[in-house]
């Protein structure tokens, strides 16, 4: 459930930023349960969300491909991980059933982002247009890098174009209309 900000002073027509639109996923991955920890049903959780403070006791989350609903019993820090336990999961054997399962939250529960910020899942699949509004392809992925995010565009002929998510390249985003307008870089 990573998010990106539109760099610079770009225009944005985001529609319902942070709210699920038709075609958006119902569940968003928030972490990966690694292995049991100790003998009281706790598990190591590798956190994938930008909002780890929302992983707290009493919250209902969903585990694995079948999205098994579970209520969080407890959460505590074990940097860089969290230790998490579910209600009804009282020992190491029960906790081991959740090993290497993805932990999900409902997309309807994601926090609203400020104007000009987007969740990755909102950008994946958008049509990518150049400055002349010619189609380059669709957003296939977003890569997090230390300098800036990178948009992976899949072209009609199944090629990849990588563009940095920076103000000079990403000119405008319209989630509502399903497109991103970019200025591809010219290399000499």
- Domain map (residue ranges) of the chain: 8-23+114-182, 27-109
Domain 8-23+114-182 superfamily per CATH:
PRC-barrel domain (2.30.30.240)
Q: Do domains 8-23+114-182 and 27-109 have the same CATH topology?
A: no
Q: What is the pLDDT, as a whole number, of residue 38?
A: 96
- 3-state secondary structure string across the chain: CCEEECCCCCEEECCCCCCCCCCCCCEEEEEEEEEEECCCCEEEEEECCCCHHHCCCCCEEEECCCCEEEEEEEEEEECCEEEEEECCCCCHHHHHCCCCEEEEEEHHHCCCCCCCEEEHHHHCCCEEECCCCCEEEEEEEEECCCCCCEEEEECCCCCEEEEECCCCCEEEEECCCCEEEECCCCCC
Question: Span 27-109: which CATH code?
Answer: 2.40.30.60
Mean pLDDT, residues 82-102 taken together: 97
Q: Provide the pLDDT for residue 43.
A: 98
Average pLDDT over residues 87-113: 93
Which pLDDT value is given to residue 20? 44
**Span 105-125, average pLDDT:** 86
pLDDT category of residue 23 using cuts at 50, 70 and 90: low
Task: Kindly state the percentage of the chain with pLDDT values over 90.
Answer: 69
Whether this model's pTM surpasses 0.75: no
């Amino acid at each position: 459930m990573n998010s990106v900000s539109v760099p610079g002073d770009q225009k944005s027509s985001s529609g319902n930023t942070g709210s699920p639109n038709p075609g958006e996923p119902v569940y968003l991955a928030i972490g990966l349960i690694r292995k049991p920890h100790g003998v009281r049903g706790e598990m190591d959780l590798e956190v994938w969300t930008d909002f780890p403070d929302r992983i707290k006791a009493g919250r209902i989350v969903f585990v694995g491909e079948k999205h098994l609903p579970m209520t969080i019993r407890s959460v505590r820090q074990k940097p860089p991980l969290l230790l998490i336990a579910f209600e009804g999961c009282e020992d190491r054997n029960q906790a081991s059933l959740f090993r290497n399962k993805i932990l999900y939250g409902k997309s309807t529960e994601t926090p609203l982002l400020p104007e000009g910020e987007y969740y990755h899942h909102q950008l994946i699949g958008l049509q990518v247009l150049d400055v002349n509004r010619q189609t380059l392809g669709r957003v296939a992925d977003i890569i997090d890098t230390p300098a800036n995010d990178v948009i992976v565009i899949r072209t009609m002929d199944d090629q990849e174009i990588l563009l940095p998510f920076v103000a000079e390249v990403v000119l405008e985003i319209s989630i509502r209309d399903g497109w991103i307008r970019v200025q591809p870089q010219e290399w000499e």
